[in-house]
Amino acid sequence: MPAEIISVGTELLLGQITDTNATFICERLAEFGVDVHFRSTVGDNQDRIVRRIRHAIEQADVIIMTGGLGPTSDDLTREAMAEACGRGMYRDPESETAIRAFFERRGYAMAEMNLKQADVPEGGSPIPNTCGTAPGVFLEHGGRLLFAVPGVPREMREMTVREVIPRLREHGRAGSHVIRSRALRVFGMGESMVARAVQDLLDTQQNPTIAPLAGQGEVVLRLTAKSPTWDEAGRLIAELEAEVRRRLGSYVFGEDDTGLPEVVVRTLAERQEMLSTAESCTGGLIGSRITDVSGSSRCYAGGVVSYSNEAKSDLLGVPPAAVDEYGAVSPEVAELMARGVRERLGTEYGLSATGIAGPDGGTAEKPVGLVFVGLASPHGVSVERHMFTQNRLDNKLRTSQAALDLLRRHLLDAGPPP
């Protein structure tokens, strides 16, 4: 029988947070050949949680719950698990000791309600939490394996990998086949263009499979293979990946969690070259994304957020006459911004962005979503025009992607550093 993931939390039903926990658990289970057939979400109501668990027991062999293990009155997963399985509750002394010690180490007074986290359904056992106070729960019931892990993502990830997966293997619930995936990340082609380039592969796919997915400012191609061994699944994916890369060429910029900032930082660091940024419509987003990458100090000198025309002139040396003649959103000003920041910060590369983020400020000649990104380098200056959407935040993200990709492609084509 398959597995079911139950996410607990009213905030999930209200759309206040995105359920990344269930996605992570599904990915880890797939790697070990555990088929997830059902995912459900239930609010912080004990009766509804109990009904959800009982329904899951009827259709799944493995049930993994995430969330509802905190110390407050609306954290009800332990109680619901006990009721659904007809069990009482007991307080685990080792968990109580660990919870008390957690607060003592930090010098905090512990509220008595925190000891609720040491309660476990009878016949079950606590799962140690190395990242927080809430132990998980493991319970065998009627041949089913039930797990409860915290809703805090960091705690959930650690417990799933360190405790849940090994216990599934110990109990023979891991499948005879593993499922392995690789995501190829594409920029510069729309989802339909990517799909057309690999349409015959989509039409004939069996194992491995291929699926195009629209991402934020990019397209993701997910390749998935099922095989008796991890290495064999990797070999199947590698063959398909080679064909996809042959068709899409340099539009593929990374894989899995490797985004454009990581690619740019890694390449610049390898070349021992420095970058500076001049941003208008993105308000510092390009620099922020670069500095999100560990080690970016080796290749990023800094940036100028020149939002006003005066700042463009005072900080980057853009002549006011150029702004008057061409407008702040123009290829000419994007070039001058890139040149200015490169010269003033003394870097090999200057990257600029200017545009109309919206939703106001557009005209017939320069509508919302119009963006120019520029790159000044030892080889000259390149400026690209883009037309994005009516959404302000989307425009900012897409502009940062376009600017980073302009630099990436230049570095890909450039010879060795002078």
Domain boundary among 139, 170, 201: 170
In a domain, 16, yes or no: yes
Q: Provide mean pLDDT across the span 27-54.
A: 94
Q: Give me the pLDDT at residue 132, please.
A: 85
* Same domain membership, residue 231 and residue 327: no
* Same domain membership, residue 69 and residue 166: yes
Q: Give me the pLDDT at residue 74, please.
A: 92
pLDDT over 90 (residue 297): yes
Three-state secondary-structure class, residue 309: helix
Domain boundary among 234, 255, 276: 255
In a domain, 418, yes or no: no
* Same domain membership, residue 342 and residue 293: yes
* Same domain membership, residue 99 and residue 8: yes
Domain boundary among 119, 136, 170: 170
In a domain, 59, yes or no: yes
Kindly report the average pLDDT of the chain as a whole number.
94
* Same domain membership, residue 207 and residue 93: no
* Same domain membership, residue 147 and residue 64: yes
Q: How many domains does the chain have?
A: 3
Q: Please report the DSSP string for 33-65 in residue order.
A: T--EEEEEEE-S-HHHHHHHHHHHHHH-SEEEE
Q: Give me the pLDDT at residue 415, please.
A: 77
Q: Give me the pLDDT at residue 228, please.
A: 86
* Same domain membership, residue 240 and residue 198: yes
* Same domain membership, residue 401 and residue 312: yes
**pLDDT tens digits, 337-354:** 999 999 999 999 999 999
Q: Give me the pLDDT at residue 257, please.
A: 85
In a domain, 286, yes or no: yes
> How far apart, in whole angstroms, are the C-alpha atoms of residue 265 and residue 298?
8
For tokens 């890369």, the residue is 245
pLDDT over 80 (residue 215): no
Q: Which CATH number does the domain housing residue 138 bear? A: 3.40.980.10
Written as six digits, the tokens of 411 are: 């570095």
Q: Which CATH number does the domain housing residue 401 bear? A: 3.90.950.20
* Same domain membership, residue 202 and residue 86: no
DSSP state of 19: -
**pLDDT tens digits, 69-84:** 999 999 999 999 999 9
Q: In which domain, by residue range, is 339 found?
A: 260-413
**pLDDT tens digits, 13-25:** 999 999 999 999 9
**pLDDT tens digits, 169-202:** 899 887 777 888 899 999 988 888 999 999 999 9
Q: Give me the pLDDT at residue 390, please.
A: 87
From start to end of 356-392, where are the E strands? 370-377, 380-387
Three-state secondary-structure class, residue 121: strand
Q: Give me the pLDDT at residue 51, please.
A: 98
Q: Who contacts 101 (Cβ-Cβ below 8 Å, separation ≥6)? A: none
> How far apart, in whole angstroms, are the C-alpha atoms of residue 60 and residue 1?
5
Q: Who contacts 123 (Cβ-Cβ below 8 Å, separation ≥6)? A: 85, 87, 139, 140, 141
Q: Provide mean pLDDT across the span 39-49.
A: 97
Task: Write down the pTM of the prediction.
Answer: 0.74
Q: Give me the pLDDT at residue 213, please.
A: 85
Q: Give me the pLDDT at residue 407, please.
A: 97
pLDDT over 90 (residue 48): yes
Amino acid of residue 224: T
* Same domain membership, residue 246 and residue 273: no
* Same domain membership, residue 28 and residue 149: yes
**pLDDT tens digits, 127-177:** 999 888 899 999 999 999 999 999 999 999 999 999 999 999 899 887 777
